[in-house]
Structure 1
């Protein structure tokens, strides 16, 4: 049978209110009484009912996290940052994978809110009107993690994706490359995909290089789309001397297509990306990439959410973290 707080109180010879104070770490309990209650809890194997405690306090000390792709190492690093800070502030995490599908994201958001989470972290792709409508029905704080909404209304933590792409392409231009292709993410994603595409175009424009739409292919952020896009570039009469890929996975796909064709990286074609996941140092040659501070994005997002949940003062609800280029072996001078 389930052991209740009443059973613990009877075993310890104290009131149920005293047991409740001990379980909730209330300091107003004598050490001797606290010891008796803990001994009774251990003997009976009592575990506090989190649901009942949540109903009483109107807090569940639980945070919902919507992650777009749990198999992607980038998001796993963000989740680690979230969990470390959550543990520090005694919050539990419910992690839900949304498979980068909008309808599943909306369903997961609503499910988490129905479970009475104290706050919500939304990680991933485009924030659409449907997302905003779901967020409006929430009576708990929400923070966007590794993404932003177009109007900057919802608190968020991310990097400047346009600036990151600009810096990546500028690095290629500084090495003498002028025929630079891009393997882009979806342009329907304004926060990441379109922002990185705009950074690519702005870098070309700043350097006085004419934009050529034949040098752009749209991928889906994954390895296979990188291999296919690179095959297309290799088939051009005037192929590119450098490739900017919007993610490490697509960049690695591009490297493998180049190598499969008998060409070399970076001697024949240079490759650079944005992300700097663990895979960037595993591929050969090692991939030069713009590093996103993924752990920090997760950690700062969770800390911002704790402040909002506790109704603490927040100076900046839109946090932009710095990025940097990590130079390895996949880029060389033209």
Structure 2
């Protein structure tokens, strides 16, 4: 099969009998061209099926109008909702998105970063549970705008859009205390991760201190690979620690705890209460439905993209670390 020959801007200019600069103005919607000339050029563009070369155009202008987005898990509805907000605002401001999946693997994060740099992206939106020093150094060295979406940076070197995770967990714990729970477990996916150690755990501790409840470290469960199976296996440890409720940082682990309790004849929420963090579809599909923090996921993505557009255009940014409102939806896994 004969390879299709690429049509260039020179071919269009020659066919329309105009300069290449005129063709460039027409295809870039610069209306500083006579209407009859613009019409003639557009006819030739259509006739030859000309497609502007974005890469070449980016090399010339040093702008590619392309954004790199790094997601740890594209199958997770939490990150999918964030990505949708990013995409809608990117389209509004005429930016293209290159979506990459890191699988939450730090080596792969470095690999996709280098891939995005090779494509000369104008900015990056990073989503991930943790920002390692190696990734931080790489992001800083490239000197292009970066926004963290749903990811925290305790050092505040990068712009970010989140909710107040510390206050959210404080709200959850306070509600459980008000319902008579004095032994509340805190189940998290790794205390080495800043979002858990610096924000969620502090919210839990603040709520205990406010209620004058002594902290019991046996009620903190640090689960490195937090998932449904590991949540299911936690039941005996939770009960042995005397817990009557659990705050869980992962919806699947929360579902595992609930099913394990119910399978053992322990009724949720009458005998054990569970509340979780991400408000994925699973929280509504479970029986009982799971009480959860509600995050404006679409808005986090949308605001992140808008913030990035301002940074890329060197517009004034009043606040680089934005906290959006959150809620707590009390469903049937709590009393």
* Same fold, judged at TM 0.5 (above): yes
Decide which of 2, 9, 12 is 1:5's aligned counterpart: 9
Which stretches in structure 2 are left out of the alignment for 5+ residues?
none
Q: Deviations over 1:168-227 (max 9, x none)?
A: 111111111112112112111113454212221221222122222222212234322222
Decide which of 112, 117, 130 is 2:116's aligned counterpart: 112
Give the alignment's TM-score, normalised by structure 2: 0.94
Give the alignment's TM-score, normalised by structure 1: 0.94
Aligned length: 330
User: Are the equivalent residues in 1 in contact too, given 2:188–2:196 (CA < 8 A)?
Assistant: no
Q: Does 1:225 align with 2:230?
A: yes
Distance in 1 between residues matched to 2:229 and 2:31, nearest whole Å:
58
Q: Which structure 2 residues correspond to residues 259-278 of structure 1 after superposition, within 5 A?
A: 259-278=262-281
Distance in 1 between residues matched to 2:131 and 2:85, nearest whole Å:
22
> For residue 212 of structure 1, what is the aligned residue in structure 2?
216
Q: Deviations over 1:60-92 (max 9, x none)?
A: 000001111112110111111111111110001
Q: Deviations over 1:106-130 (max 9, x none)?
A: 2222221222100011111222221
Decide which of 299, 314, 317 is 1:296's aligned counterpart: 299
Distance in 2 between residues matched to 1:139 and 1:210, nearest whole Å:
47
**Structure 1 outlier segments of 4+, above 4 Å:** none
Distance in 2 between residues matched to 1:254 and 1:125, nearest whole Å:
22
Q: Which moved more, 1:219-228 or 1:71-80?
A: 219-228
Q: Deviations over 1:25-46 (max 9, x none)?
A: 1110122222221221111111
For the aligned residue pairs, the C-alpha RMSD in angstroms reads: 1.5
Q: Which moved more, 1:2-11 or 1:296-305?
A: 2-11
Q: 1:275 is paired with a residue of what secondary structure?
A: coil
Q: Deviations over 1:227-272 (max 9, x none)?
A: 22234324x1x64211111122221121111122122211121111
Distance in 2 between residues matched to 1:329 and 1:249, nearest whole Å:
16
> For residue 305 of structure 1, what is the aligned residue in structure 2?
308
Q: Does 1:21 align with 2:25?
A: yes
Distance in 2 between residues matched to 1:260 and 1:58, nearest whole Å:
60
> For residue 257 of structure 1, what is the aligned residue in structure 2?
260
Q: Does 1:100 align with 2:93?
A: no
> For residue 74 of structure 1, what is the aligned residue in structure 2?
78
Mark the CA change 1:47 to 1:192 in structure 2 (over 3 Å): closer, same or farther: farther
Distance in 2 between residues matched to 1:194 and 1:264, nearest whole Å:
33
Distance in 2 between residues matched to 1:191 and 1:153, nearest whole Å:
15
> For residue 334 of structure 2, what is the aligned residue in structure 1?
331
Decide which of 123, 127, 133 is 1:129's aligned counterpart: 133
Q: 2:194 is paired with a residue of what secondary structure?
A: coil
